[in-house]
Amino acid sequence: MSGPIVALVQNPRQVHPPEMAVFAEAVPSYDPSRAADESARLRRTLEDFGLRVVQPTEVLRSLDRAALVSLAAGAIDAEDEERRLLAHKALSGWTPEDLVELVVRRPRLLLRPDPALAAISPDSSYEAYALAPLFGLAFPRDHYVDLDGFLVIGRLRREDRRREVAVMRAVVERLRESPAEVAIDAPDYLEGGDVVAYGSVAVVSAGFRTTSAAAALLLDPLRRRFDHVVLLQDRFRRPDQFHLDHWLALGPSVALAACDRLDAVEMVSCHTVDIDLEPGGNGSQQRTLRDTLRSLDLRIVPLDPDDLEGFIGNALFLPGSSAVVLPDSTASSMRRTLEGLGFETVTVPFSEHQRQRGGIHCATNFLRLDPRGNP
Q: Band of the pLDDT at 279, cuts 50, 70, 90?
A: very low
Tell me how crowded residue 247 is: count the other CB atoms within 10 A of its CB.
Answer: 26
pLDDT above 60 for 281: no
Question: What type of residue is 319?
Answer: P
Q: What's the sign of the alpha-carbon dihedral 269, 195, 363, 18?
A: negative
3-class secondary structure for 85-98? HHHHHHHHHCCHHH
pLDDT above 60 for 280: no
Which of 220, 365, 247 is CA-nearest to residue 313?
Answer: 247
pLDDT tens profile 227-262: 999 999 999 989 899 999 999 999 999 999 999 999
Percent of the chain with pLDDT strictly greater than 70: 95
Give the pLDDT mean for 258-275. Answer: 88
If residue 365 lies in a helix (H) or strand (E), which one and from where to where?
strand 365-368
pLDDT above 50 for 375: no
State residue 186's pLDDT score. Answer: 97
Give the pLDDT mean for 317-329. Answer: 96
Give the pLDDT mean for 198-208. Answer: 93
CATH topology of domain 5-54+139-368: L-arginine/glycine Amidinotransferase; Chain A (3.75.10)
pTM of the model: 0.93
State residue 2's pLDDT score. Answer: 54
Largest CA distance in the chain: 79
Q: Check: CB of residue 371 under 8 Å from CB of residue 149.
A: yes
pLDDT tens profile 18-62: 999 999 888 889 999 999 999 999 999 999 999 999 999 999 999
**Around 180, how many Cα atoms within 13 Å sit in the side-chain half-sphere?**
20
Would you put residue 42 in left (φ > 0), alpha (ψ -120 to 50) or beta? alpha
The boundaries of every CATH 3.75.10.10 domain in the chain are: 5-54+139-368
Tell me how crowded residue 89 is: count the other CB atoms within 10 A of its CB.
Answer: 9
Query: What DSSP designation does 302 have?
Result: E
Cα separations (Å) of 56 from 186, 190, 359?
A: 25, 20, 18
Give the pLDDT mean for 83-87. Answer: 96
